[in-house]
């Protein structure tokens, strides 16, 4: 009883501020086609999973879908930003870039071309190359998940006619 009262008192300040837990996005269309991605794009796979979780059918053929998500650019980049005087890499920058637009199968633009770019800096050590490769893979995956979440929020604002 006392525990329930404590939880109620803790949640009371949040009740009037508009705070709401994040939940699955509600999309106005029931089917979408994903086109323009590389054949084995992990970003496309993550986006497909999120769309399926939102009860949206995902097609490869635009003619069968209510909306067409076209990836104009889907890139992962890695560049050296710091090195020692001996030429050893000390820091790298990872970038994940997605440029896309959303239209109807007939070509009516639902969402103008937009670009999402995420960057992360990562230290590097040749003595821990395997661990750093795993860290890089985890960072890229987290960046892709963030981009997918941003795409889902943008898709949620589309209102089909």
DSSP assignment of 109-122, as one string? EEEEEEEEEEEEEE
pLDDT tens sequence across 34-80:
999 988 899 999 999 999 999 999 998 898 899 999 999 999 999 99
Angle between helices 42-53 and 129-156 in degrees, nearest 10: 40
Domain 24-156 class?
A: alpha beta
**Structure tokens, 120:** 């992360």
pLDDT < 70 stretches in the chain:
1-16, 18-25, 160-161
pTM above 0.85, yes or no: no
pLDDT at position 61: 87
Is residue 58 a contact partner of residue 30, using CB atoms and an 8 Å limit? Answer: no
Which pLDDT belongs to residue 143?
A: 96
| Beta carbons of 53 and 87 less than 8 angstroms apart | no
């Amino acid at each position: 009883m006392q525990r329930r009262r404590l939880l109620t008192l803790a949640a009371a300040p949040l009740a009037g501020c508009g705070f709401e837990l994040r939940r699955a996005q509600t999309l106005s269309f029931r089917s979408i086609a994903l086109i323009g991605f590389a054949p084995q794009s992990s970003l496309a796979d993550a986006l497909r999973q999120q769309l399926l979780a939102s009860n949206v059918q995902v097609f490869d053929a635009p003619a069968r879908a209510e909306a067409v998500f076209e990836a104009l650019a889907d890139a992962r980049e890695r560049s050296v930003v710091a090195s020692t005087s001996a030429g050893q890499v000390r820091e790298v920058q990872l970038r994940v870039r997605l440029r896309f637009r959303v239209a109807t199968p007939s070509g009516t633009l639902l969402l103008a071309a937009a670009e999402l770019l995420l960057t992360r800096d990562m230290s590097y050590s040749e003595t821990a190359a395997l661990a750093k490769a795993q860290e890089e893979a985890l960072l890229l995956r987290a960046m892709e998940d963030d981009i997918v979440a941003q795409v889902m929020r943008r898709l949620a604002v589309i209102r089909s006619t």
